[in-house]
Amino acid sequence: MKHIATRTGRHCLPLPSNRLGLYLALRHWCTPGQRLLMSPISADEILFLVLAAGLRPVIAPLSPHDGNIDASRVDLSAVDAVLTTNLYGLPDRVSAFAGKILIEDVAHAMETSVGGRPLGTFGQAAVFSLSKHAGAGSGGVLAVEQESDLRALERARDELLAKGSLRADLLSVATSMARQAALKLDLVRPALALMRALGLQEQREGYRIALDPEGLSRALKQVPALPPFDPWVRADLHDYRARRGRAALWYQSRRLAKVPAERGRRLSGVARLAELPLVAPAVRDNLGQPLFRVPLLVRDRDAAIVALERQGVATGYLYDPPYDDYAPDFTEASPDPEPARWWARHVLPIDPLYATRALPVLSELKPPPGFIG
């Protein structure tokens, strides 16, 4: 947590997950019934957190340049607040949202800056993930400017925390360490097969968890409240609200301390992947950002994923279909959904730390229809 506090200059609240932090921020700064502008492409649980806070998700048009909100096509007068995504570490146009309640989801963008200013310092609150850049398995940090907000959020956090256990902490640490070892030792295929066999990955319909519209409608009758939405929010992280003990906190701090040392490797990987003709255009505009993932846009994404696994490269972090196709009855649809559908169907996020291992596969891929590099 010290790394994030030093980087942002803000007060930081430790959390068992980024998810809990987003809910706390939305509840603290927004009022049930308000309209929240958000990207059509982000993790499943983000949509359910917005609904749990009693807010109306207003789906923004997406920019194919970077996969984020197309701020030039948004009517900000029609919304009360904005939730950024900073997809794969590429920055949202945060300056365009001035004057609105702004909650920054910087799960993918721990090391991203805009104009020399770190993301996480533009909005009323920013929520970081310790499972992405830090690779700590789970954990989050909520960064705020005012100490009074920190104290209120701390009380709200403690009301929602569930009891943890040493066994769960040790299992979380061991799983994260095994995942890191599998990547380094080129054991991605057997590791993925084992996780699937043990049921450690949530069942999905394609790349999204099952929506269960009837169950979701029942949960909505209890908003604002988080526990009724646990069946959706906890996907792949069932202890997202569980109190963490010393073992987990020690591991998180150890992993977080290593993030600055990896900056050079990330930047090198970003530069190599940016040379590919299929890279998303915004990557070349952000060569100084140590991105979490480098998005490519490819013709046959699923076949590429299989080929990358054979090469020892895991992908993940795919959010297909966009929210307004995934949950049309629970969102206000984007005025132009086609760019988001195209992006979600073709994007292939690559870890820049494993760029060299991935390049033999990536160099053979073809562009999707409509791609303009």
Q: What is the CATH number of the domain that holds 287?
A: 3.90.1150.10
Domain contains 23: no
DSSP for 269-319, written as a single string: HHHHHHTSTTB-HHHHT-TTS--S-EEEE-S-HHHHHHHHHHTT-------
Residue 107 has pLDDT above 80, yes or no: yes
**Residue 119, amino acid:** L
Domain count, the chain: 1
Answer yes or no: is pLDDT of 114 > 60.
Answer: yes
- Report the chain's mean pLDDT, rounded to a whole number: 93
- Higher per-residue confidence, 131 vs 1: 131
In a domain, 247, yes or no: no
Pairing of strands 81-84, 117-118: unpaired
Is residue 272 included in any domain, yes or no?
A: yes
342 lies in some domain? yes
Does some domain include residue 102? no
Using CA atoms, how far apart are residues 195 and 175, in angstroms rounded to an integer? 10
- Tokens read off for 292: 């979490």
pLDDT in tens, 246-300: 888 888 899 999 999 999 999 999 999 999 999 999 999 999 999 999 999 999 9
Q: Is the pLDDT of residue 80 over 80?
A: yes
Domain assignment present for residue 301? The answer is yes
Does residue 373 lie within any of the structural domains? no
Cα–Cα dist 182/31, whole Å: 44
Q: Is there a contact between 106 and 120 (Cβ–Cβ < 8 Å)?
A: yes
The pLDDT confidence band at residue 136, using thresholds 50, 70 and 90, is: confident
Instruction: Report pLDDT for 190.
Output: 58
Average pLDDT over residues 312-341: 96
Q: Is residue 40 part of a domain?
A: no
What pLDDT, on the 0 to 100 scale, is given for residue 183? 65
Which residues, 6+ apart, have CB-to-CB distance to 79 below 8 Å?
35, 36, 37, 58, 100
Residue 62 has pLDDT above 80, yes or no: yes
End-to-end CA, the chain: 38
Range of the domain at 320: 262-362
